[in-house]
Amino acid sequence: MEVLRPQLVRIGGRIYRKNPIQEQTYQHEEEEEDFYPGFEECAEEPCDGYEVVQTQQGFQCTLKAPSLLYKHIVGKRGDTKKKLEMETKTSISIPKPGQEGEIVITGQHRSGVISARTRIDVLLLTFRRKQPFTHFLSFFLNEVEVQERFLKFQEEVLEKCSMDHGVDSTIFQNPKKLHLTIGMLVLLSEQEIQQTCEMLKQCKEDFIDDIAGGKPLEVEMEGIEYMNDDPGMVDVLYAKVHMKDGSNRLQELVDRVLERFQASGLIMKEWTSVKLHATVMNTLLRKDPNAEGRYNSHTADGKYIFKERESFDGRNILKLFENFYFGTLKLNSIHISQRFSIDSFGNYASCGQIDFS
């Protein structure tokens, strides 16, 4: 991160600069990241987006956060919390680890309470972004016809291209897990899962019913493409998905869902449009059958993992199966799928869904 171009963080309609700081390390302690983001407001006036109530003792503001993130507000030996309280002249009450509840900020001055709240929001946002993805919004693409056609594709690829570098049976997707991803989520509590369910229902009321017309979207899964720019060194090969009637309704629907979830903060704003694709071959599966695309890159505590991949030569596959037809599907539900879990049908377990009809 450049000093003259610090990272910008948007909170409650306002933008803050997150300045680089020197981190301290302590010996003979449990290894845990201690991070206190310095920041400056991009405007001088106080933020009025928080609900601050006046009490007999002064002012108070409350917020909810997943218990998994409490430790990042407390810091090593409570240093982060003490620094926050000292600099903002407030008192911060945080529930015990493992207990869900409200974080309560109290102080004699309203400006100090608002400052503490803003800094806590920056901390929460920073460490939320370091958490591994837990769920994703998706369409299931595992209808019987498509599974059968996928297995036919696998059989023919291995029959005709098995001599090509890196091509073997281990890199094919599990046909029961074929899906179309709309966006990745970090949901750290049951409350956040419920919030996601409610937002999906609101999307249905606001625009999905109008786009889908109260009926499933009939799509075709046809043709293959690769993710990177070298067909001789492919890591991910995917099937393309499009509306059978030639319209843009599926793309419009998923893009508007993505936009709504990005605006809420539940999905990070990395893309402005969803790339409609269904992964059929992935080199991460070569060593780990449970790998999940490019998102399988963190441990449970958020530490980055570098996964060495052996790419495959996809030139013959692309030439021979460029227009392979996987079948027709009727997309009738958007699911909140849970990573690294399966249901009784072998697909990703669903924590909630909305139906079009």
Of the candidates 102, 130, 158, which is a domain's last residue?
A: 130
What does DSSP assign to residue 204?
I
Domain region containing 346: 135-293+305-355
Residue 272 sits in the same domain as residue 187: yes
Please name the helix (run of DSSP H) or strand (run of DSSP E) that holds residue 113, with its range, or none.
Answer: helix 110-128
**Per the structure block, which two tokens stand in for 167?**
């091509």
- What per-residue confidence (pLDDT) applies to 123? 93
Residue 165 sits in the same domain as residue 62: no
Q: What angle do CA 129, 135, 140 make, to 5 degrees?
A: 145
- What per-residue confidence (pLDDT) applies to 34? 45
**Domain containing 103 — which CATH number?**
3.30.1370.10
Residue 87 sits in the same domain as residue 200: no
The answer to whether 23 touches 34, Cβ cutoff 8 Å, is yes
Residue 122 sits in the same domain as residue 156: no
- Output 324 or 20, whichever has higher pLDDT: 324
pTM: 0.78
- pLDDT tens digit string along 146-196? 999 999 999 999 999 999 999 999 999 999 999 999 999 999 999 999 999
Residue 124 sits in the same domain as residue 139: no
pLDDT band of 220, cuts 50, 70, 90: very high
The edge-to-edge listing of strands for the beta sheet with 7-11 is 7-11, 14-19, 38-41
The answer to whether 301 touches 188, Cβ cutoff 8 Å, is no
Residue 110 sits in the same domain as residue 167: no
For 61, phi then psi, to 5°, come to -140, 140
